[in-house]
């Protein structure tokens, strides 16, 4: 009998596929199942049928595979924050390396490149320096909660993560193990404060309510602690008493800000920002440099692994005292400053003007005088005119967004043919695509995966390229 949508079936999970879903076979077709581990024998309900594959919903683990473990967090199977807590960390690392190798070979056609073993994180949990919790008036009830028969009277103020695939429903968290425990405690405090004081959560459909997000940022090396209250309206009479209550309960907080996003956009970045307590920013260190981090500033989310990532990039760049270095997609200049002491001059390019302002400020605060920064879209700024202004670079570091580099940027890199090129990537698929084009001019000497996000399928990668003679 042919398998159809809605049918139940049993299968063995052979390996892991994209986004960490388990991969098995039904009727000689691939079947992808969330929350499974290699070696599991499972019962699933078919929820999607396509010409080339099925997608199944896990109903029961009939027999556990050797790499399955009990998740630390009770929300792991339904929350999108940790998709692989049920798998041993060793297997996570093996999968991530295979993930990078598959992209290099299948997308980039680079069949002779084998990634190095993954640089594993020193902490498998509590590693994030930033967490953003969403608030809403429509709580997502899990199957376990529905089956319990309990009537939940606090559904109008839910705080945690968006339910997978739902922008309008919030999975209410009772725990979270991604950031230090005080992070979850702050979120939970705000939730209970809102319930006690009848402060409504935001409804994205009706475009009404007040509290939208609570963001917590921490300095691993400095101990700084920021709370960013994101609201739908500018109401000092509501946020200031809340800030005072937070400070009384959590005296370790060093600053509290209020981002007011009174637009339909779901962003946590407000149309304007108000400082409620402290300086309005935190400070964090990477290597010898200290960085100012505002509420809406991009900064690497895992401080300890960011240092290892940057050290890998610096090592691959083989920096020399007389080098001119270009740092593409430089953000707040963290990698630019991390490498500046080893070169004659470092020049960063970044699209976000606020990040560039912070980059200049970070350079001045750390006494770094051999850095320059330019603002603009990379394809428009990184041109021959730019090279004429600063000179031909000896080494280039590029750290593009998940979409990879614009074809014009890749073309410019090939035309420039710098002696050394280091490609830092948060998406090995687009990196493989770009490396395929760059390989006409550059030799790919090494590819080093770095695990920035344990318990997830995400992986950062650093590639070392040298100009062909």
Largest alpha-carbon pair distance within the chain? Answer: 73
- The pair phi, psi for residue 408, each rounded to 5°, is -65, -35
Active-site choice (31, 330, 371, 426): 426
**Was 105 annotated as part of a binding site?**
no
Parallel, antiparallel, or unpaired for β 139-140 and 170-172? parallel
Residue 286 contacts residue 303 (beta carbons within 8 Å): yes
Residue among 427, 458, 423 nearest 437 (CA): 423
**Was 329 annotated as part of a binding site?**
yes
Question: Which burial class, exposed, middle or buried, applies to 351 when counting CB atoms under 10 A from its CB (0-12, 13-18, 19+)?
Answer: middle
Residue 116 contacts residue 146 (beta carbons within 8 Å): no
Please tell me the distance from the alpha carbon of residue 112 to that of residue 362, in angstroms, as a whole number.
41
Both tokens of 243, joined, read 């800030």
DSSP secondary structure string, 5-46? TT-EEEEE--EE-GGG-EEEEETTEEEEETT--TT-EEEEEE
Please tell me the distance from the alpha carbon of residue 293 to that of residue 286, in angstroms, as a whole number.
12
- The pair phi, psi for residue 42, each rounded to 5°, is -130, 155
Beta bridge partners of 190: none
**Was 269 annotated as part of a binding site?**
no
Catalytic-residue membership of 426: yes
Residues 284, 290, 292, 298: is their CA dihedral positive or negative? negative
Residues 6+ apart with CB under 8 A from 101: 113, 114, 115
Residue 18 contacts residue 27 (beta carbons within 8 Å): no
Residue 210 contacts residue 235 (beta carbons within 8 Å): yes
Residue 404 half-sphere exposure toward CB, CA atoms < 13 A: 16
Residues 6+ apart with CB under 8 A from 191: 135, 157, 158, 159
Residue 53 contacts residue 29 (beta carbons within 8 Å): yes
**Was 174 annotated as part of a binding site?**
no
Both tokens of 156, joined, read 């109008």
Question: Which burial class, exposed, middle or buried, applies to 389 when counting CB atoms under 10 A from its CB (0-12, 13-18, 19+)?
Answer: exposed
Which residues are the active-site residues? 426
Q: Residue ranges for the binding site for S-adenosyl-L-methionine?
A: 300, 329, 350, 399
Q: Residue ranges for the binding site?
A: 300, 329, 350, 399
């Amino acid at each position: 009998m042919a398998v159809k949508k809605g049918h139940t079936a049993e299968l063995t999970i052979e390996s892991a596929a994209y986004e960490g879903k388990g991969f098995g076979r039904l009727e000689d077709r691939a079947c992808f199942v969330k929350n499974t581990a290699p070696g599991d024998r499972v019962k699933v309900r078919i929820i999607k049928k396509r010409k080339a594959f099925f997608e199944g919903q896990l109903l029961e683990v009939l027999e556990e595979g050797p790499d399955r473990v009990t998740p630390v967090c009770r929300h792991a199977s339904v929350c999108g924050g940790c998709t692989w807590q049920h798998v041993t960390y060793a297997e996570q690392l093996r999968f991530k390396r295979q993930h990078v190798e598959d992209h290099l070979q299948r997308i980039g056609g680079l069949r002779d490149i084998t990634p190095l073993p993954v640089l594993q994180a020193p902490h498998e949990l509590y590693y994030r320096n930033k967490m953003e919790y969403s608030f809403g008036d429509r709580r997502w009830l899990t199957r376990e909660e529905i089956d319990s028969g309990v009537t939940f009277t606090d559904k109008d103020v839910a705080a945690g993560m968006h339910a997978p695939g739902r922008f309008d429903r919030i999975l209410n968290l009772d725990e979270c193990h991604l950031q230090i425990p005080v992070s979850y405690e702050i979120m939970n405090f705000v939730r209970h404060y809102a319930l006690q004081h009848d402060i409504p959560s935001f409804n994205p459909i009706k475009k009404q309510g007040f509290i939208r997000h609570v963001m917590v940022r921490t300095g691993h090396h400095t101990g700084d602690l920021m709370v960013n209250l994101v609201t739908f309206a500018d109401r000092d009479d509501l946020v200031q008493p809340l800030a005072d209550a937070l400070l009384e309960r959590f005296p370790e907080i060093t600053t509290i800000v209020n981002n007011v996003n009174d637009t339909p956009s779901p962003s946590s970045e407000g149309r304007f920002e108000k400082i409620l307590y402290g300086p309005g920013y935190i400070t964090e260190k990477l290597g010898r440099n200290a960085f100012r981090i505002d509420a809406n500033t991009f900064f690497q989310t895992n401080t300890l692994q960011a240092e290892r990532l940057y050290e890998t990039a610096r090592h691959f760049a083989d920096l020399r005292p007389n080098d001119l270095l270009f740092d593409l997609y430089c953000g707040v200049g963290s990698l630019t400053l991390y490498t500046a002491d080893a070169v004659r001059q470092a020049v960063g390019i970044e699209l976000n003007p606020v990040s560039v302002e912070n980059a200049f400020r970070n350079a001045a605060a750390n006494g770094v005088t051999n850095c320059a920064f330019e603002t603009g879209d990379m394809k428009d700024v990184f041109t021959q005119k730019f090279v004429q202004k600063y000179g031909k670079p000896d080494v280039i570091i590029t750290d593009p967004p998940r979409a990879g580099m614009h074809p014009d940027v890749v073309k410019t890199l090939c035309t420039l043919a710098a002696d050394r090129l280091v490609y830092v990537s948060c998406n090995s698929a687009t990196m493989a695509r770009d490396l395929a084009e760059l390989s006409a001019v550059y030799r790919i000497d090494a590819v080093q995966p770095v695990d920035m996000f344990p318990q997830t399928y995400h992986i950062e990668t650093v590639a070392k390229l040298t100009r062909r003679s």
